[in-house]
Chains A and B, each alone.
Chain A
């Protein structure tokens, strides 16, 4: 019960300030048609209730699933199996991330279908899966995270000069939305669980950095998509 109240509070804290700002702006500056304001209030209400349900569902359903899969991983000796499963989990949690769905929908609408939303969502998910798998390889072999981060960002910088202008902002935005309420807890649980099982690795500095690494994947993925399609 306490957990539900906490979740409700968190969601309201995230949604309310901006909604109130809009209402104030509406009263003093912008004056939109009244039906739009009502639609905003109804929509905000639905989004709040929906977010609470979703977060609770993640806590009691999706997160334990991720943990169960994560705890199972080190028991299988095969490195290839571990990498494949980590890739698939990264992929699966990304396509379920609300922010990713909203962003890809928006791009589909704004570009009038010239950048396909459903293709984009799979490219982003593959990017995440690939980089989370890389991060796990890093934990196994124990080389510093700064090398991977720097290599990833240098790749991004170089690619950004070859990517068509329409894809660059979208690519960077894709990196920003993947760190949502769904992917973060599950990927973190995977990483922390994994590195705490491997002896001699500090759970803190090895498990962390996973999310930062993960968000480079979609940027590179969408840029490559732009280079190929553009």
Chain B
């Protein structure tokens, strides 16, 4: 394969896009006729939005199909055969960290945590904590692939930690934490990091791409959950200390 293919599988992509957007469109149109009865001009504007989403989704999926997926797979296949496989662990950390640190969703979340803690937890701390968390969990995912650790041995302890943290955290932080699961699993994680993982497992002996290649997204999604709840725990301890010291009673009143 030496030529560059751009339109390969474009029919399938188009079919996927239609299947994706049809249910919402149908649901809206049925409700529109039965109950909503929005003015026609408004509906027309919404339909323009749907058309835009349709074109965008088709372009995105086709771009992923010809770019991120085959290249991620090829990269994984090359990386899976290098001599010093441990190098993949720091590489995984860097990719996880970079992908998160630059992501817009994490910044919005960081602001939200700063506000919820009345400024006690600075937003840069949230940003760094989550990015490092994602990096560590991606590195852990690489270790899992290299050593062939069953996925359950990693995910079950991680979830138990999350469950335990729920009982020690304020409700607001728990809610923010569990909503935050998605901020790190952006389009790059699914399209690219996953393809690399699948590529690596497909060339390593004794690895099954279905059982060993997947699971990375789940680990990435856990990072913000654990990070935000840990920060919530720190916030609570700080608050308690202040209550004991009575250094700043007015601020505590405001918070409570």
Contacts and interface: CB of A to CB of B under 8 A. Distances in A.
Interface in B25-82: 26-28, 31, 35-36, 38, 45-71, 74-75, 78-79, 82
Contacts of B74: 32, 36
Nearest to B225: A212
Interface in A57-94: 57-62, 64-65, 68-69, 72, 76, 85, 88-89, 91-93
Contact of B166 (A89, A150, A188): A150
B95 interface: yes
Contacts of A175: 181, 218, 221
A56 B50 CA distance: 9
A95 B57 CA distance: 12
User: What band does the interface of chain A fall in when counting residues whose beta carbon is under 8 Å from B?
Assistant: 35 or more
B214 A170 contact: yes
Given A42-B6, A145-B171, A68 B36 contact: yes
A198 interface: no
Nearest to A180: B182
Nearest to B104: A10
Contacts of B66: 39, 42-43, 46
Contact of A57 (B1, B26, B49, B155): B49
A145 to B, nearest CB: 6
B194 A103 contact: yes
Nearest to B101: A17
Contacts of B19: 95, 118
Interface in A38-55: 38-55
Contact of B102 (A17, A102, A176): A17
Given A106-B69, A146-B166, A50 B211 contact: no
B49 A58 contact: yes
Given A106-B198, A145-B171, A212 B178 contact: yes
B56 A179 contact: no
Nearest to B167: A146
Contacts of B45: 60-61
Interface in B100-147: 101-104
Interface SS majority for chain A? helix
Contacts of A13: 102-104
B4 interface: yes
Nearest to B209: A110
B237 to A, nearest CB: 20
A32 B171 contact: no
Given A14-B102, A150-B163, A184-B182, A98 B36 contact: no
A13 B220 CA distance: 18
A84 to B, nearest CB: 11
A184 B63 CA distance: 23
Contacts of A208: 172, 175-176, 179
Given A18-B188, A43-B67, A55-B56, A169 B159 contact: no
B79 A101 contact: no
B64 to A, nearest CB: 6
Interface string A97-135: 111011101110011000100100000000000000000
15 contacts: A18-B193, A42-B66, A43-B64, A44-B68, A47-B60, A47-B68, A60-B52, A96-B53, A169-B213, A170-B210, A173-B216, A176-B182, A176-B220, A188-B179, A212-B179
